[in-house]
Amino acid sequence: MPETIILTCEEKMEKALESLKYELGQVRTGRANPQVLKGICASYYGVNTPIEQMSSISVPEAQLIVVKPYDKTTLKDIEKAIQAANLGLTPQGDGTVIRIVFPPLTEQRRKELCKDIKAYGENSKVQCRNARRDANDQLKKLEKDGLISEDDLKGYNDDVQKVTDKYISKIDEEIKVKEKQIMEI
């Protein structure tokens, strides 16, 4: 039973880390990153479809993303969906492909993005701490009900803390990598 509680806690922390990775992928750095288009949907015969399923997305240059629709009739729909996503990018269609040029970031904008990234990281850490608190509360309840001893409780709490420390350090590492990408000119 306590092992199940610890595994559930670890799953919650893993989800927090995955959520952070997704959010960081959406943050625009000075380089072209196809992750910024993830989750954007365009109308494809009346059905909202992710554009990565409707087209091939490539990065031929550091500052350029090229979106080539499989069906050329969807070009305008994809272009509208990218504009509607408010990414701060302007798609330019030429009839066969859509080019998205990434303008270089100003120093002020880089610093703002770093602040945003730290906030994302802090939110993920809070989720991990909440998962730790929930697990510790469940373990205390087991000890109160007499299912585990006080010594076992201390050992399990230590295990939960080790898992928490592991995920907090992974979150810190993700933040450092992303900050380095943003501050790189």
Q: Residue 102: which of 113, 84, 90 has the closest Cα?
A: 90
22-37 tens-digit pLDDT? 888 877 676 777 888 8
Say if residues 116 and 26 touch (Cβ distance below 8 Å). Answer: no
Residue 175 pLDDT > 80: yes
Position 185 scores a pLDDT of 64
Question: Average pLDDT in the 64-86 region?
Answer: 88
pTM strictly above 0.85? no
Position 33 scores a pLDDT of 78
CA dihedral of 40, 44, 47, 53, whole degrees rounded to 10: -50
Residue 87 pLDDT > 90: no
48-67 tens-digit pLDDT? 889 888 899 888 888 889 99
113-171 tens-digit pLDDT? 889 899 999 999 999 999 999 999 998 998 888 888 888 889 999 999 999 999 999 99
CA distance 117 to 122: 9
CA distance 172 to 185: 22
Position 166 scores a pLDDT of 94
Domains and CATH numbers, the chain: 2-26+106-183 (1.10.132.20), 34-101 (3.30.1360.40)
Residue 75 pLDDT > 70: yes
